[in-house]
Amino acid sequence: MRIALFATCIVDAMYPATARATVKILERLGHEVVFPSGQACCGQMHVNSGYIKEAVPVIANHVNAFDTEDYDVAVAPSGSCVASVKHQHPMVARSCGDKDLETRATAVGAKTYELSELLVDVLGVTDAGAQLGSYFPHRVTYHPSCHGMRLLRLGDRQARLLGSVAGIDMAELPEADQCCGFGGTFSMKNADVSSAMLEDKTANIAATGASLCAGGDASCLMHIGGGLSRQGSDVTTLHLAEILASTLEEPASVTGEVRVTTGKATR
């Protein structure tokens, strides 16, 4: 299968290892990955902050980048950005009366999958240890991000994939379905409430005794990880793509207490 990668802007610029891990997983399964070079961002930050006019060129750019490329399906390592592509893009195009953009955005959205959705529903991955060689000998807890959970209805796809990684020790996160408090510009506009939500999330993570918190959205992980770092915690965050890509020979690079220092993956 020919799979187009939508890296998402935050992963492209801040967490390239997550996108590289996504490529690794898909290639390991024997698929061809393409990267439409015109891509940039889904525009969700603009839409969710009320700047619809400024969102339109960002959305148009995404649709142009992905409807000119030849591929079977597109994938992004983010529930939130995929939800934006699927739901917000056609809605914004409709609200500004651009019928052509709406039609093309709907078509791109229909072909776009979140990573766990693609792996489970389309590529039939049920056992990451057996099918991907995933190996990650750490105690891990997992935060299901809101948009994957409520807008894409990912259910337990991400958790099941993580649970099927060889060597992993999964610790259930109390109140897992509670928002971490990120919410894009909410974290700045309502910094006090956002911080109060984050405090409870990091306390719940600490209570699991896990050495890291996994998730499917780099933005929420940056938020949670940023809070843990500020609190001086040894617990870090890691995207599930990197855990799935991790093998015995090529382990994921993990910072903090559980740093793994074998050959290639670290300096």
Partner 1 sequence: MSTYLGMPSLPVHGTGNLHASESFPQAAHRELANTQLRANLGHATHTIRDKRIQVVSELPDWEQLRDAGSAIKESVMARLPELLEQFEKNFTARGGVIHWARDADEANGIVAGLIRETGETEAVKIKSMATQEIGLNEYLEEQGIAAYETDLAELIVQLDHDKPSHILVPAIHKNRTQVRDIFLREMEGVDRELTDEPARLAAAARAHLRRKFLTAKVAVSGANFALADSGTLAVVESEGNGRMCLTLPETLITVMGVEKLLPTWQDLEVFMQLLPRSSTGERMNPYTSLWTGVTEGDGPQNVHLVLLDNGRSAALADEMGRSALHCIRCSACMNVCPVYERTGGHAYGSTYPGPIGAILSPLMTGIQAEENNSLPYASSLCGACYDACPVKINIPDILVHLRSVDVDSKRGKKKIPTQMDIGMNAASWALSSGKRLGMLEKGLPLGRLAAGPDKKITKLPGIAAGWTQSRDIPAPPKQSFRDWWKKEHHAPGTAPAAAHDQEDQP
Q: Which is nearer to partner 1, 52 or 163 (CB)?
A: 52
Dihedral sign for Cα 56, 62, 68, 73, please. negative
Q: Least distance (Å) from partner 1 to the CB of residue 241? A: 12
Phi-psi region of 218 (alpha: psi -120 to 50; beta: other; left: phi over 0): alpha
Q: Where does residue 188 rank: exposed (0-12), middle (13-18), buried (19+ CB within 10 A)?
A: exposed
Q: Least distance (Å) from partner 1 to the CB of residue 198? A: 6
**Cβ atoms within 10 A of the Cβ of 99, count?**
9
Residues 6+ apart with CB under 8 A from 198: 180, 181, 182, 223, 224, 227
Residues 6+ apart with CB under 8 A from 70: 2, 34
Q: Least distance (Å) from partner 1 to the CB of residue 21? A: 9
71 binds partner 1 (CB under 8 A): no
Residues 108-147 binding partner 1 (CB under 8 A) are 146-147
Residues 7-66 binding partner 1 (CB under 8 A) are 7, 9, 11-17, 19-20, 23, 27, 32-33, 35-41, 43, 45-55, 57-58, 60-61, 65
Site size toward partner 1, by CB under 8 A: 80
Residues 230-259 binding partner 1 (CB under 8 A) are 230, 253-255
Q: Where does residue 224 rank: exposed (0-12), middle (13-18), buried (19+ CB within 10 A)?
A: buried
Q: Which is nearer to partner 1, 110 or 196 (CB)?
A: 196
222 binds partner 1 (CB under 8 A): yes
Residues 178-217 binding partner 1 (CB under 8 A) are 178-179, 181-199
Q: Least distance (Å) from partner 1 to the CB of residue 267? A: 5
